[in-house]
Structure 1
Amino acid sequence: MPRLHCPAPLSPGLLLALPAGAARHVQVLRLQPGDALTLFNGEGGEWAATVERMGRSEVEVRVDAHQAVEREAARAVHLALGMPANERMDWLVEKAAELGVASLQPLLAERSVLRLKGERAEKKQAHWQAVAVAACEQCGRNRVPPLHAPQDLLAWLRALPAAAGAGETRLLLSLRSGAAPLAQAVPAAGPVRFLSGPEGGLAPQEEEAALAQGFVPVSLGARTLRAETAPLAALAALTLAA
Structure 2
Amino acid sequence: MRIPRIHHPAPIQEGDELELEPRAAQHVAKVLRLKGGAPLLLFTGEGGQYAAELAVVERRRVTVRIAAFEPLEVESPLAVTLLQGISKGERMDYAVQKAVELGAARIVPLFTERSAVELKGERLEKRLAHWRGIAVAACEQSGRNRIPQIAEAQRIGDLLGRPAEGFGLTLDPRAGRPLAALPPPVGSVSILIGPEGGLTDQELRLAEKAGYHGVLLGPRVLRTETAAAAALTAVQLLWGDLR
TM-score by length of 2: 0.91
The residue matched to 1:199 in structure 2 has which SS?
A: coil
1:229-240 counterparts in 2 under 5 A?
229-240=226-237
State whether structure 2 residue 174 is matched by structure 1 residue 176: yes
SS in structure 2 of the partner of residue 10 of structure 1: coil
The Cα of 1:186 is off from its aligned counterpart by 4.7
Q: What amino acid is the match of 1:14? A: D
Give the letter for the 2:174 counterpart.
R
Aligned partners of 2:173 and 2:94: how far apart in 1? 24
Q: Return the match for 2:138 from 135, 139, 150.
A: 135
1:100 to 97, 103, 121: 103
Number of equivalent positions: 236
Q: Residue in 2 aligned with 1:157?
A: 160
Gaps of 5+ in 2: none
**One-letter amino acid of the structure 1 residue matched with residue 17 of structure 2:** L
The CA deviation string for residues 102-143 of structure 1, in whole angstroms up to 9 with x for no partner, is 111111110111221211111111111111111111111111
Q: Which of 56, 66, 69 is the matching residue for 1:66?
A: 69
CA distance in 1, matches of 2:91, 2:175: 28
Alignment of 1:1-242 (within 5 A): 1-28=3-30, 29-158=32-161, 160=162, 162-163=163-164, 166=165, 168-178=166-176, 180-187=177-184, 190-241=187-238, 242=240
User: Could you give the per-residue CA deviations for residues 24-46 of structure 1, whole angstroms, max 9, x where no partner exists?
Assistant: 11112222222110001111111
- After superposition, the CA RMSD in angstroms is 1.6
Displaced runs of 4+ in structure 1, greater than 2 A? 175-178
CA distance in 1 between counterparts of 2:185 and 2:106 reads: 20
* Cα deviation 1:81-111 (Å, max 9, x = unaligned): 1122231111111111111111111111101
Q: Is the 8 A contact 2:173 2:217 kept in 1?
A: no
**Amino-acid identity (%):** 48
Matched to 1:216, the amino acid is H
Structure 1 residues 230 and 83, CA gap change in structure 2 (3 angstroms):
same
TM-score, scaled relative to structure 1:
0.92
Once residues 55 and 89 of structure 2 are traced to their aligned partners in structure 1, the CA distance between those partners, rounded to angstroms, is 41
How big is the shift at 1:21?
1.1
Amino acid at match of 1:62: R
